[in-house]
Structure 1
Amino acid sequence: MSTYRILIVEDEAIIAAALERMVQSFGHECAGIVAGGEEACALASRLRPDLILMDIVLKGEMDGIEATRWIQSRLDIPVLYLTSHTDSHTVGLACGTEPYGYLLKPIDDRELRVGIEVAMYRHRSEARVRQMERWMTTTLNSIGDAVIAVDAAGGISLMNPHAEELTGWASADAVGRPFEEVFPLVEHASGRPIPNPAAQAMRDGMVVHIDRHTMLQPRGREAFFIDDSAAPIRGPDGQVQGAVVVFRDATERMRNEARLQELNSCLDREVRKQTQELTRAMGDLEEFTGAVSHDLRAPLANVREFAEMLALRVAERSGDDESGRLVRFIQDGTARMGTMLDAFQRLARIQRHDLEEREIDMHGLVEDCLRELGLRPEHPDQPAVVVALSRPHTGTRNWSARSG
């Protein structure tokens, strides 16, 4: 059992001495004995005892009830009344000070022991509750969203500062008022009232989200867009006891969405314009490459045929390796030229096909180009740009026409 420091306020010396003996027999310490209300207040302020045993009728101008009221308004000390008065007037005045007990004289030691323990247990419990309330209040006031709690009858029970700011209502004025009065919602397009989300959350027993185009009509201000949700508050038995509404000003969100929509529209128009221009350019390219291909393929075919004839004659002459090499060079060149013309025509017709994304090995592509050019990037005399291009590149993609 814990040991407490107890102040005795009693104007009868014999009773005060008896109370002191009982307190000490319980293992507690008697912090002091005074006979008047003024003395009790002064000693309590100086000693800060754990508990005060307070008689109601005292010597001096301040009685026990007035002394208790003064102590409780300034000091967090529990008071246990000890009195012989049982009339309704005295009891009513005493209850108004919210004492931690009311024992009738003559005092029985067992009743006093139990009274002290109950008073201290209640005081500790209430201290924990007050600490939790302070913590919850601080948390509620610190969060960035506005919060309104509604009781089962639909009245406001609490608001945090952000909710006061957005609704235009002070918490002291809003508490107890109907939720719809403090939190009127309207539809943006029509201006029609929107059903109470807190009432819907309590009725359905689930979280309710309002439409994103909902506006709040605060007191003394123009309506503005909000983001809002309401959730039911359930008691230990699972029954709905109220609702909590969390909301925030969505004006900036709506402004950004409108701006984004405008930018998307501008981008879409620009893409359409560029697509049309690209389509025209590709049409011109196809026409140009068709003409060029037609003009070049005829002489290219002649070169290819003459090269084949030369190859046959060189083959009849044994030992002429240099002539054979030159003829093969001509044949390879005509083949590459034909491949290039085919590629030009495919490029011109690319607009007719769907595009697909495909990985490209840039390292291998550069190596092939270097081999075709007869370059060796590892050679110390090679230009820096050739060395850089020959190094591996990852994550590179290209777009090609889907075949078929």
Structure 2
Amino acid sequence: MAKARLMVVEDEAITAEDIRSSLEGMGYDVVAVAATGEEALRIAEKLKPDLVLMDIVLKGGHSGIATAGELRRRFSVPAVYLTAYADPATLAQAKLAEPLGFLTKPFNEADLRASVEMALYKAGAEAERQELIRKLQEALDKVKVLSGLIPICASCKQVRNDKGFWQSVENYITEHSEADFTHGICPACAKKLYPEYFDQLYGKGSGGTPE
């Protein structure tokens, strides 16, 4: 099984290196460490990591929260937040980017491991759910179902479509279902249209018109 590919976004170099070392010791592939939101976005566009560990407070023009939101929106890359700020206002703002976890500094390796494992599990489950939705939508797009009342002429047997136009039953069914037609001739029509061949086709003494 391939190692999960992680990126660390942390503007404190020593802290970033400690996190990298811990993650690699757990068996993860840390593909990059970024110090700013702008750098993180450039790297994510190229490397497409499976998960980003994101410090909320970053130097530069992008906050960690804004960067996490862009990562999810542009590249579908989820994030776990790292922060020393756990006040209600910060938490409320952080939720807007839909993070998969939240680690309050300082944290130990056990907390880091648990947060990353749970985040990767959630990300995998969400990816499977989205793929299932996509497949179901494709199936629904292909399926056409006839239902409800269908106006049909009592005389010529044409059907009125949803745009108000009359058309043959064959065309209507073809447009509104996945059915295909094969053409033949029923016994009653064969007897009416080709009486001279009817007995040859169906035999004499059959006791009536075959059904």
TM-score (norm 2): 0.72
Larger Rg: 1
- Return the alpha-carbon distance in structure 1 between the equivalents of residues 20 and 206 of structure 2: 96
- Return the alpha-carbon distance in structure 1 between the equivalents of residues 18 and 206 of structure 2: 100
Q: Counterparts in 2 of 1:46-57, with a 5 A limit?
A: 46-57=46-57
- Return the alpha-carbon distance in structure 2 between the equivalents of residues 144 and 72 of structure 1: 35
1:395 to 187, 196, 203: 203
In the alignment, residue 397 of structure 1 is paired with which amino acid? Answer: G
User: Which one has the bigger helix percentage?
Assistant: 1
Equivalent position of 1:259 in the other structure: 155
In the alignment, residue 89 of structure 1 is paired with which amino acid? Answer: A
- Return the alpha-carbon distance in structure 1 between the equivalents of residues 34 and 79 of structure 2: 15
TM-aligned CA deviation for residue 394 of structure 1:
8.7
Equivalent position of 2:162 in the other structure: none
User: Which one has the bigger strand percentage?
Assistant: 1
Q: Counterparts in 2 of 1:135-154, with a 5 A limit?
A: 135-145=135-145
- Return the alpha-carbon distance in structure 2 between the equivalents of residues 260 and 58 of structure 1: 75
Contact 2:80 2:101 in 1 (8 A): yes
Question: Quick one: structure 1 residues 22 and 398, their matched pair in 2 at CA, closer, same or farther if it must change by over 3 Å?
Answer: closer
Q: Counterparts in 2 of 1:162-311, with a 5 A limit?
A: 227-228=147-148, 250-251=150-151, 254-255=152-153, 258-259=154-155
Number of residue-to-residue matches in the alignment: 164
TM-aligned CA deviation for residue 141 of structure 1:
2.5
Equivalent position of 1:30 in the other structure: 30
- Return the alpha-carbon distance in structure 1 between the equivalents of residues 94 and 206 of structure 2: 89
In the alignment, residue 78 of structure 2 is paired with which amino acid? Answer: P
Contact 2:7 2:32 in 1 (8 A): yes
- Return the alpha-carbon distance in structure 1 between the equivalents of residues 37 and 202 of structure 2: 89
- Return the alpha-carbon distance in structure 2 between the equivalents of residues 59 and 117 of structure 1: 28
- Return the alpha-carbon distance in structure 2 between the equivalents of residues 56 and 89 of structure 1: 13
The reply on whether 1:83 has 2:83 as its aligned counterpart is yes
Q: Could you say which structure has the greater relative contact order, defined with CA pairs below 8 angstroms and 6 or more residues apart?
A: 2
Question: Quick one: structure 1 residues 142 and 14, their matched pair in 2 at CA, closer, same or farther if it must change by over 3 Å?
Answer: same
TM-score (norm 1): 0.38
TM-aligned CA deviation for residue 142 of structure 1:
2.4
Question: Quick one: structure 1 residues 41 and 398, their matched pair in 2 at CA, closer, same or farther if it must change by over 3 Å?
Answer: closer
- Return the alpha-carbon distance in structure 2 between the equivalents of residues 394 and 21 of structure 1: 86
SS of the counterpart of 1:259? coil
The reply on whether 1:72 has 2:72 as its aligned counterpart is yes
TM-aligned CA deviation for residue 260 of structure 1:
6.1
- Return the alpha-carbon distance in structure 2 between the equivalents of residues 259 and 33 of structure 1: 77
In the alignment, residue 27 of structure 1 is paired with which amino acid? Answer: G
Q: Which runs of 5+ in 2 are unaligned?
A: 158-200
Equivalent position of 2:41 in the other structure: 41
Contact 2:71 2:78 in 1 (8 A): no
In the alignment, residue 203 of structure 2 is paired with which amino acid? Answer: G
Deviations 1:37-95 (A, max 9, x none): 11111111111112111000001010101101111111121211111111111101111
Q: Counterparts in 2 of 1:344-363, with a 5 A limit?
A: none
SS of the counterpart of 1:103? strand
The reply on whether 1:59 has 2:59 as its aligned counterpart is yes
TM-aligned CA deviation for residue 108 of structure 1:
1.0
Equivalent position of 1:111 in the other structure: 111
Q: RMSD over aligned Cα, in angstroms?
A: 2.2
In the alignment, residue 259 of structure 1 is paired with which amino acid? Answer: S
